[in-house]
């Protein structure tokens, strides 16, 4: 089993945190993982993505040309990464910020109202956790309970006060598929 995942959006949406949390959770489940963040110099508001590879064997290369799974948080990221998706791959879009449907018929597309769900929970920045919860429900790539436990290890000390909101957001994404 090898899963190649791209998570893409703009700086400030928690793209790198989402990738780190996914990779960490897969690692504690005994998988081989790689996580490569990529973001523009402008940071908040600029382009941002990360690559996560999860495998039950050694990873040949952390570079992803054709992702099996793509999480897309905004329209520019959809425009950039939809064409790169593997045939019959999964693409999960934040429909709160992306009005346009996927153009390719060979993709399994899921539309998650992530930003709106995060706002209902109490923090717009938790949309990344909503998207991860949806990813887990759709793919069963890692265990949701292990991801919730992993949050304490991955979230920064300065954001530890947001732990409960992030847990709720994960469950909201998981339950709203």
The domain limits of the chain are 2-175
Which numeric CATH code is attached to 2-175?
3.40.920.10
Contact yes or no for 51/36 (Cβ under 8 A): yes
The β-bridge partners of 148 are none
Q: What is the pLDDT of residues 88-99, one digit of tens each?
A: 999 999 999 999
Q: What is the pLDDT of residues 62-77, one digit of tens each?
A: 999 999 999 999 999 9
Which pTM value belongs to this model? Answer: 0.95
From the CA atom positions of the chain, what is the Rg in Å? 15
């Amino acid at each position: 089993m090898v899963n190649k995942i791209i998570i893409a959006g703009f700086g400030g949406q928690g793209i790198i945190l989402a990738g780190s949390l996914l990779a960490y959770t897969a690692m504690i489940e005994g998988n081989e993982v790689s996580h490569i963040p990529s973001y523009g110099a402008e940071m908040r508001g600029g382009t941002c993505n990360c690559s996560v590879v999860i495998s039950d064997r050694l990873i040949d290369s952390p570079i992803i040309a054709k992702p099996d799974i793509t999480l897309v948080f905004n329209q520019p990221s959809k425009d950039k990464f939809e064409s790169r998706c593997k045939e019959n791959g999964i693409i999960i879009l934040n429909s709160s910020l992306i009005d346009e449907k996927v153009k390719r018929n060979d993709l399994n597309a899921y539309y998650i109202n992530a930003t709106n769900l995060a706002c209902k929970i109490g923090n717009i920045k938790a949309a990344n956790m909503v998207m991860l919860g949806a990813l887990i429900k759709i793919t069963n790539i890692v265990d949701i309970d292990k991801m919730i436990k992993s949050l304490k290890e991955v979230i920064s000390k300065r954001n530890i006060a947001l732990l409960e909101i992030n847990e709720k957001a994960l469950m909201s994404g998981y339950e709203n598929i």
